[in-house]
């Protein structure tokens, strides 16, 4: 006899799925960041740069908030009603993971800055789309938007302070 899943079970599976997707993006970025501690520690930093140990805990919270926000939008009609917003969300997750590769693995400061500016703009678009569907979902992404804005400023400054180490656009 086949049992049907309850809406509550489907909702919980959806939450787990969105969290898994977000944390999968973090793992992809983390793979590129295996030597980040040594590399980042060797770079000239601005005085206002946070200690490297802060980044991990902040990102854990942000990825969890992203997963919950996407789940909220998914619960409000799935891809049928909110496909554009959810697709844009998934695209920005890809850009997020790509940034670690560009900066930490390939040492391309200029391209990393271009990537993070595009990422910030995409997050802003996702916040607005999510807000229209569920204001809470948009609000859950605001810390992410602020953090990536801060990270963009830091990326730019570190790139400028390390011209011999971090590449420039051709």
pLDDT attached to residue 165 = 86
Domains of the chain: 7-161 (1.20.1260.100)
Q: What is the mean pLDDT of each run of 10 residues along the chain (170 residues)?
A: 56 93 95 85 93 92 98 93 96 97 93 97 98 98 98 96 78
pLDDT attached to residue 3 = 47
pLDDT attached to residue 92 = 98
| Residue 40 contacts residue 112 (beta carbons within 8 Å) | no
pLDDT attached to residue 135 = 98
| DSSP H helix total and E strand total for the chain | 7, 0
pLDDT attached to residue 12 = 87
Q: Tell me the pTM.
A: 0.90
Q: Is residue 163 helix, strand or coil? A: coil
Distances (CA, A) of 167 to 29, 103, 109, 119: 19, 9, 5, 19
Query: Residue holding tokens 């969105």?
Result: 18
Region label for 103, one of left (φ > 0), alpha (ψ between -120 and 50) or beta (otherwise): alpha
Q: What span, in angstroms and rounded, lies between the C-alpha atoms of 161 and 96?
A: 23
pLDDT attached to residue 168 = 65
């Amino acid at each position: 006899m086949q049992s049907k899943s309850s809406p509550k079970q489907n909702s919980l599976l959806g939450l787990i799925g969105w969290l898994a997707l977000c944390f999968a993006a973090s793992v992809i970025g983390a793979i590129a960041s295996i030597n980040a501690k040594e590399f980042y520690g060797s770079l000239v930093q601005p005085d206002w740069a946070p200690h490297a140990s802060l980044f991990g805990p902040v990102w854990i919270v942000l990825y969890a908030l992203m997963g919950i926000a996407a789940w909220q939008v998914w619960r409000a009609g799935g891809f049928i009603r909110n496909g554009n917003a959810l697709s844009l969300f998934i695209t920005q997750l890809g850009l997020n993971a790509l940034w670690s590769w560009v900066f930490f693995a390939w040492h391309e400061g200029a391209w990393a800055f271009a990537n993070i500016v595009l990422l910030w703009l995409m997050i802003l678009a996702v916040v607005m789309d999510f807000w229209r569907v569920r204001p809470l979902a948009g609000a859950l992404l605001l810390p992410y938007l602020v953090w990536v804005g801060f990270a963009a400023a830091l990326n730019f400054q570190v790139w400028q302070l390390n011209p011999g180490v971090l590449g420039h656009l051709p």
